[in-house]
Structure 1
Amino acid sequence: MTTPWPPRRSARRPLAPRVAAPREPVDPAWIGRRVVRRRAKGMDADAVAAALEDARFDARQDSRHEDLADDVRGPAELEEWERIDQLLAAAPAGTVYDPDTDDVVRAELAAEAAAAAAREAELREAARVAARADELQALRELGTLEQTEPRTRDEAARDELTQRAGGYVQADVDAWLAHALAAHRGHYRDPTAREEAAGLLTPPVLAHAALLAELARLVPDADVDQLAFAARLATAEPEAAGELAVLLARAHPAR
């Protein structure tokens, strides 16, 4: 069955600029806790108790200054000295503080490592999506997009291309995905991928795919001109297009 495609544009569209990943914001409280742990390393209970008294004195002094009212590092340091003091008070006599064996520190480090790994994974995925968007853009310019098999996460590449265009609908990419979804091409051969598409594609694309699927069953030899209305209807009235697809499905329930 032949299917309609929007006219191909010859104007070259710019690729997405590559930008550096944003830096993590500085956390003064985190810095304060790290400073305390470095200072406390190797201290016994008496030394930590003395350092705690110094921290309390500093806190009282700071409370007199209005410009330090929003300071978070000082209170964080005081809380950390108090925590370490309690930790050593509950430990056997002669124990010295070692952040490497501190369960709280180890849990924080594990959480930080997990968060860093998650951020790295997000950056890798964003780079992969951007590269795929570049590839789809090149295929558009070559006029071979409609012959391309869609892959997993191409919905994200579609969003990337739409964002690059300032939010304007990319009719050819939307039509490509709708045709692939209707014909179960590429990763849409997997029923799970088709189910996930419902949450990844826009209502017009989903309505277009549903309408194309039913029309293909009813009129398998329909030509381009006869099916051209499907994309226009789905774009202008996606809800109506979806309802029409349901009605057409009822016209031939046997699958």
Structure 2
Amino acid sequence: MSATEAAAAQEDARLQQHMDRDREDLADGERGPAEVAEWERITQLLVTAGGVYDPDTDAVVQDELAADRRAAEVEQQRLQEQQQLAARADELAARMRVGRLDRTVETRPGDETACELLVHRGDYHPVVDGWLAQALADRSGHYADPAARVDAVGSLPVAVRAPAALLAALARTGAPAGDGELEFTGRLAQADPEAIDALAAWLDRVLAPAELAEAGEGARGERGRPGGGLLGGGDGLRTPA
């Protein structure tokens, strides 16, 4: 496009904007002023730089196209994450229905959100709470990461946190327990989660290794001992009620 053609297009845009003022549905529209402003910009660009207008060399146009591409990439990533989340929720629901959601299924980042999706779809069962609680207590799957455990303790419902705390404390007794043997922790947590959390704290205290008590480490708190509680590592955090 030449400078002359751009100037003519600018005048056409101004004329159209003037005509639109007589139409109630277009009088306050943003399209007319935007078109006039853009043609003014292009005309000025050609007057300043000379030559023929080429959108491939127009920095403003290229920036807008780049922004559109980035927005499309973000949207595509969002859709992919939604599809992955739905697929994971379907997998967990399928395993739950056939009784195969146990310790052999490791948790992954995002499983908490997948479980929320199951609740939203009306396809949730307390067995999922038990699976998450056991993984949190065992520090297995993505809960092996201390940061993931901190996030979980701050975001998971009490129906998961309370039995996880009790399972972690019971594990310190050294008594072996197979899948399903400690399912009563979930039922107790449903009945009185605060009492279960208090019981877990008490077990943590009385089961503390003697050598830590002799070294004075017992003063670090009920949940602040390495290897104790849900979080471990001496961070002293408690599961919120």
Which TM-score band applies after superposition, normalised by the shorter structure? 0.7 to 0.9
Structure 1 residue aligned with 2:72:
116
Distance 1:199 1:101 in 2: 51
Asked if residue 172 in structure 1 is aligned to residue 127 in structure 2, the reply is yes
1:145 has 2:104 as partner? no
The equivalent of 2:117 in structure 1 is 160
Out of 185, 193, 201, which is 1:230 matched to?
A: 185
SS in structure 2 of the partner of residue 90 of structure 1: helix
Partner in structure 1 of residue 165 of structure 2: 210
Paired residues in the alignment total 209
Q: Does residue 23 of structure 2 align to residue 65 of structure 1?
A: yes
For residues 182-240 of structure 1, the C-alpha deviation after alignment (integer angstroms, 9 at most, x for no partner) is 01122222223323324553243223312321232257457999955532343355455
* Distance apart, 1:157 and its partner CA: 2.1
CA RMSD of aligned residues (A): 2.9
Deviation track 1:101-144 (CA, whole Å, cap 9, x = no partner) reads 11111111111111111211122222222222222222122212
Bigger relative contact order, structure 1 or 2, given CA contacts below 8 A and separation 6+? 1
CA contact (8 A) 2:102 2:179 kept: no
Gaps of at least 5 residues in structure 2 are: 210-226, 228-241
Deviation per residue, 1:8-53 (Å, 9 max, x gap):
xxxxxxxxxxxxxxxxxxxxxxxxxxxxxxxxxx232x33223222
Shift of 1:100: 1.0
Alpha carbons 1:210, 1:242 under 8 Å: kept: yes
Q: TM-score, normalised by structure 1?
A: 0.69
Shift of 1:243: 5.0
Change (3 A) 1:74 1:143: same
Q: Gapped runs of 5+ residues in structure 1? A: 1-41
Q: What amino acid is the match of 1:60?
A: H
Q: What is the SS of the residue equivalent to 2:35?
A: helix
1:81 aligns with 2:39: yes
> 1:43: which partner in 2?
2
- Aligned CA distance change for structure 1 residues 116 and 239 (closer, same or farther; 3 Å): farther
Does the 8 Å CA contact 2:133/2:160 hold for their aligned counterparts?
Answer: yes
Q: Secondary structure at the match of 1:66?
A: coil
Q: Which amino acid aligns with 1:173?
A: V
- TM-score, normalization by structure 2: 0.72
Aligned mates of 1:100, 1:225 — CA distance in 2: 65
Please say if residues 150 and 177 of structure 1, whose CA atoms lie closer than 8 Å, have aligned partners that are also in contact: no
* Separation (CA, whole Å) in 2 of partners of 1:221 and 1:207: 20
Residue 248 of structure 1 and its aligned partner are, at CA, apart by 4.2
- Tell me if structure 1 keeps the 8 A contact 2:162–2:193: yes
Q: Residue 195 of structure 1 corresponds to which residue in structure 2?
A: 150
Amino acid of the residue matched to residue 168 of structure 2? A
1:173, distance to aligned residue in structure 2 (A): 0.5
Q: Separation in 1 of the partners of 2:38 and 2:127?
A: 58
How far apart are 1:149 and its partner, in Å?
2.3
